[in-house]
Structure 1
Amino acid sequence: MVQVPEYAIIVAGGSGTRMQHSLPKQFIEVAGKPILMHTIEQFYRYNPAVRLIVVLPQEQITTWRELCRKYTFKLFHMTVAGGATRFGSVKNGLGAVMGDGLVAVHDGVRPFVEVETIRAAYEAAAKFGSAVVAVSPKDSIRELTGEGSRAVPRANYKLVQTPQCFKASILRSAYEQPEQEHFTDDASVVESTGEKIKLVEGSYRNIKITTPEDLVLAEAFAAQDKM
Structure 2
Amino acid sequence: MEYRKVAIIVAGGSGTRMQSTVPKQFLELAGKPVLLHTINAFAAAYHDMEIVLVVPTAHFTYVNTLLKDFPSLSKITIVGGGETRFHSVKNGLQHAQNAVVFVHDGVRPLVSVSLIRRCYEATLLHGSAIPVIDMKDSLREVAGDTNKAVDRDKYKIIQTPQTFLSDLLIQAFELPYDPLFTDEATVVERLGNPVHLVQGEESNIKITKPLDLTIAAALLQEQ
For the aligned pair, the TM-score class normalised by the smaller chain equals over 0.9
Counterpart of 1:73 in structure 2 is 70
- In the alignment, residue 158 of structure 1 is paired with which amino acid? K
- In the alignment, residue 30 of structure 1 is paired with which amino acid? L
Could you tell which deviates more after superposition, 115-124 or 60-69? 60-69
Aligned to 2:163, the other structure's residue is in SS state strand
> How far, CA to CA, are the matches of 2:211 and 2:150 in structure 1?
28
Deviation (angstroms), 1:109: 0.5
Gaps of 5+ in 1: none
1:166-177 map, 5 Å: 166-177=164-175
Counterpart of 2:107 in structure 1 is 109
1:147-226 map, 5 Å: 147-225=145-223
- In the alignment, residue 32 of structure 2 is paired with which amino acid? K
> How far, CA to CA, are the matches of 2:21 and 2:161 in structure 1?
27
> TM-score scaled by structure 2?
0.96
Deviations 1:107-144 (A, max 9, x none): 00001111111111111111111110110111111111
* Cα RMSD (Å): 1.1
- In the alignment, residue 221 of structure 1 is paired with which amino acid? L
Deviations 1:134-189 (A, max 9, x none): 10111111111234211111110000000000010000000001000110000001
Counterpart of 1:19 in structure 2 is 18
> How far, CA to CA, are the matches of 2:47 and 2:12 in structure 1?
24
> TM-score scaled by structure 1?
0.94
Aligned to 1:162, the other structure's residue is in SS state coil
Aligned to 2:160, the other structure's residue is in SS state strand
Aligned to 2:195, the other structure's residue is in SS state coil
Query: Is 1:37 aligned to residue 11 of structure 2?
Result: no
Deviation (angstroms), 1:3: 3.9
> How far, CA to CA, are the matches of 2:86 and 2:37 in structure 1?
24
> How far, CA to CA, are the matches of 2:9 and 2:3 in structure 1?
19
Q: How many pairs are equivalent?
A: 221
> How far, CA to CA, are the matches of 1:51 and 1:146 in structure 2?
47
Q: Give me the identity figure in percent.
A: 47
> How far, CA to CA, are the matches of 1:74 and 1:148 in structure 2?
56
Aligned to 2:161, the other structure's residue is in SS state strand
- In the alignment, residue 177 of structure 1 is paired with which amino acid? L
